[in-house]
Structure 1
Amino acid sequence: MDFGSILLSAGTALISPTTAAYALAAIGLGVHFGYAGLLNFGQAGFMAVGAYTFAITTLTLGFPFWLAILATIVAASVFALILGIPTLRLRADYLAIVTIAAAEIVRFIVTTSTGGLDDTTGGASGLNGYNAEFAGMNPLPAGTSLLGLSGTPLWGAIFGWALVIIATVLVWALMRSPWGRVVKGIREDEDAVRSLGKNVYSYKMQALVLGGVMGAMAGVIFILPRAVQPGNYGTALTFFIWTALLLGGAATVFGPIVGAMIFWGVLTLSDGLLRGLVAADVLTFISSTQVGQIRFIIVGIALMLLVVFRPQGIFGNKKELSFNV
């Protein structure tokens, strides 16, 4: 078993564009749930909206990179408004139902091959070829690599983690501002905040839009080194992001980042170890095709232990666990 290669793969996973995308999506989910108390079970929908808006505006409309980014932000804001307007005046569980359904609707729409829509979305085959301009923006010298990442993936990791840093600083500043204190007050007891004359509905909508935009930008980071595939935006993606958030701590600044890194680090490390043990005939009761499922079982057990022994997450505070939902 090549332990060096296994450790290198795990180290690469820690800084990969995929981990950066999960971290940014988890930060957005942290704004929704951790700070505002909004039960969003459709973060995959925001990521899909971001990914497809960026890809379609680039390929079909010929938008330059930064204009496509702007279109992604606008599309995510509109999507958040569509979800929030009919639900945010109601109980939190209505938002949960609407978001998980909306994410599936988005996925089915971009997958359909009827009505000529697949000419734009690519249908079940997805889209590719939209990242040529981004690759051309790479300022790194040819041959530059870091932990196995080079070319567009390395440039995508740098861009992705830069956005994660910006989002982290933004959330840190907002949650220490009067706006953030109101949002956290809504999470604890929105009736009390309403009695102080605050527009609870408006604050909830702002939090939903902010976290949704972060989710959409995570969708852009996610597709920069790969093609857009509709199958990547199922409900499992949302629950993986929830796992990353809960691992680090829901109402924390660095929790989503560390949670995403732990999630992908453990997945990659366990995958390499299990495949190595299977190849060495140490684990004879499983096959290499079962390794993918077993590694998620390992992550699930780790999450269960965390919930039992430290429910607030690694960086969380038990005082932040009281939600008026």
Structure 2
Amino acid sequence: MDWSNLLTNVAGELFAPTTAAFALAAIGLNVHFGLTGLLNMGQAGFMLLGAYGFAIATIAGWPLWAAVGAAVAAAVAFAVLLGIPTLTLRGDYLAIVTIAAAEIVRLVGRSTALTDVTGASNGLLGNSFKQTFQDASPFPDGSFALGPFSYAINASNSWWLRLVGWAVVVLAALLVWRLMRSPWGRVLKGIREDEDAVRSLGKNVFGYKMQALVLGGVLGALAGILYVLPRAVQPDSLGRPTTFYVWTILLLGGAATVFGPIIGSMLFWASLMLIKGFMRAVVPSDVMSVAQIEAFGWILVGVTLMALIIFRPQGILGDKKELAIHVR
């Protein structure tokens, strides 16, 4: 077994574009759940809308900044449309509605009636919308090696994408850190603990919930852009499982913390790479095929999520006194 190659791949996952994308999506979910107590089970919907908004606008000839603006606008519109009828719901009811809303986005993207726009189930090819992002790089084309890690500078899975992706993650974490310590953030925490008490103080609880839903959704849309830049926009790749991955990442690192989503994403993807790589090397193909090993890795994700909820609901960095996971 080539431990050197395996450990290099695992270490590469710690700062991969996918890791950054899911860290950003988990930061958005942290605004929803960690700060406000909203059981949003449809974060994948915001990610898919962001991906489609960016890709469709770019294909239409929009510049990079306008395409990102289109993705953000799509997330804001979706949050408002979703929030107006649902933010009065609590607990399980909100979770059911949000996961259904995300499924609607996915199914609309798969619709053959919109093949010319979304590509239906085949999606949108990466080469049709990546050029503006790659052209924005100040670095020359080619490849660059840093220790054992060698990637293209400006291509799909590139150093440029890693630099931009993690810069956005850091900025989002700083924003959440500042908001958590602001009067606005303290109101959100009050809503999380007892929204009736906050309402009795004259605060517009619905308005604050809507603001949190929009902010977390925008971060989810930006995460969707980062997620599809190394690949294509395919609706099924951002389906229901994606939301559960984001939840696992958030709960692993610790909800209501600044760096919990980042640590959670790094551990999640690095551990998954380690498990799958180790099993491929040591498990004979007549015992488990590659596809079965892939499925077994995701089974472990589900078991991990259940174990977190049971034994350490506050996560690695979380404080049990700060956040108790319960359904009101």
Verify same fold: TM over 0.5. Answer: yes
Q: Per the alignment, in what secondary structure is the counterpart of residue 15 of structure 1?
A: coil
Look up the match of 2:302: 300
Structure 1 residue corresponding to 2:168, chosen from 157, 160, 163: 163
2: CA distance, partners of 1:219 / 1:158 = 16
Look up the match of 1:36: 36
| Contact residue 92 and residue 327 of structure 2 kept, 8 A | no
1: CA distance, partners of 2:47 / 2:3 = 34
Q: Is the counterpart of residue 127 in structure 1 residue 124 in structure 2?
A: yes
Q: Per the alignment, in what secondary structure is the counterpart of residue 316 of structure 1?
A: coil
Look up the match of 1:243: 248
TM-score by length of 1: 0.94
* Code of the aligned partner of 2:322: E
Q: Is the counterpart of residue 196 in structure 1 residue 201 in structure 2?
A: yes
2: CA distance, partners of 1:45 / 1:308 = 27
Matches within 5 A, 1:212-227: 212-227=217-232
Instruction: Quote how far apart the aligned CAs of 1:284 are.
Output: 5.4
| Contact residue 144 and residue 150 of structure 2 kept, 8 A | no
Q: Per the alignment, in what secondary structure is the counterpart of residue 269 of structure 2?
A: helix
2: CA distance, partners of 1:36 / 1:182 = 9
Look up the match of 1:97: 96
2: CA distance, partners of 1:149 / 1:252 = 32
2: CA distance, partners of 1:290 / 1:324 = 35
2: CA distance, partners of 1:226 / 1:90 = 36
| Contact residue 8 and residue 148 of structure 1 kept, 8 A | no
Structure 2 residue corresponding to 1:253, chosen from 246, 252, 258: 258
Q: Per the alignment, in what secondary structure is the counterpart of residue 86 of structure 1?
A: helix
Instruction: Quote how far apart the aligned CAs of 1:324 are.
Output: 6.7
Look up the match of 2:110: 111
* Code of the aligned partner of 2:76: S
Q: Per the alignment, in what secondary structure is the counterpart of residue 320 of structure 1?
A: coil
1: CA distance, partners of 2:196 / 2:319 = 23
1: CA distance, partners of 2:46 / 2:150 = 30
Look up the match of 1:51: 51
CA RMSD in angstroms comes to 1.5
Instruction: Quote how far apart the aligned CAs of 1:157 are.
Output: 1.4
| Contact residue 12 and residue 148 of structure 1 kept, 8 A | no
Q: In the TM superposition, what whole-angstrom CA distance separates every residue of 1:215-255 from its partner, at most 9, and x where no partner exists?
A: 00000000111111111111000000000000001111100
Please list every run of 5 or more consecutive structure 1 residues that lacks an aligned counterpart in the other structure.
Answer: none
Q: In the TM superposition, what whole-angstrom CA distance separates every residue of 1:176-196 from its partner, at most 9, and x where no partner exists?
A: 000000000000000100111
1: CA distance, partners of 2:290 / 2:91 = 42
| Contact residue 30 and residue 250 of structure 1 kept, 8 A | yes
* Code of the aligned partner of 2:84: I
| Contact residue 47 and residue 216 of structure 1 kept, 8 A | yes
2: CA distance, partners of 1:299 / 1:40 = 19
| Contact residue 266 and residue 299 of structure 1 kept, 8 A | no
Look up the match of 1:23: 23
Q: Runs of at least 4 residues of structure 1 off by over 6 A?
A: none
Instruction: Quote how far apart the aligned CAs of 1:171 are.
Output: 0.3
2: CA distance, partners of 1:303 / 1:104 = 21
Please list every run of 5 or more consecutive structure 2 residues that lacks an aligned counterpart in the other structure.
Answer: none
| Contact residue 50 and residue 220 of structure 1 kept, 8 A | yes
Cα distance change, pair 195–127 in 1 and its aligned pair in 2 (3 A): same
1: CA distance, partners of 2:98 / 2:314 = 24
Q: In the TM superposition, what whole-angstrom CA distance separates every residue of 1:74-126 from its partner, at most 9, and x where no partner exists?
A: 11111000000011123343321221111111111111113xx1101111111
2: CA distance, partners of 1:50 / 1:36 = 22
Q: How many pairs were matched up?
A: 319
Q: Which moved more, 1:69-78 or 1:84-93?
A: 84-93
| Contact residue 58 and residue 132 of structure 2 kept, 8 A | no
Cα distance change, pair 145–67 in 1 and its aligned pair in 2 (3 A): farther
| Contact residue 250 and residue 316 of structure 1 kept, 8 A | yes
* Code of the aligned partner of 2:228: I
2: CA distance, partners of 1:181 / 1:33 = 14
Structure 1 residue corresponding to 2:211, chosen from 206, 210, 229: 206
1: CA distance, partners of 2:163 / 2:327 = 38
2: CA distance, partners of 1:164 / 1:270 = 26
Matches within 5 A, 1:54-73: 54-60=54-60, 62-73=61-72
Q: Is the counterpart of residue 286 in structure 1 residue 288 in structure 2?
A: yes
2: CA distance, partners of 1:97 / 1:300 = 19
| Contact residue 32 and residue 207 of structure 1 kept, 8 A | yes
2: CA distance, partners of 1:96 / 1:2 = 44
Q: In the TM superposition, what whole-angstrom CA distance separates every residue of 1:45-91 from its partner, at most 9, and x where no partner exists?
A: 0000000000001102x110011111111111110000000111233
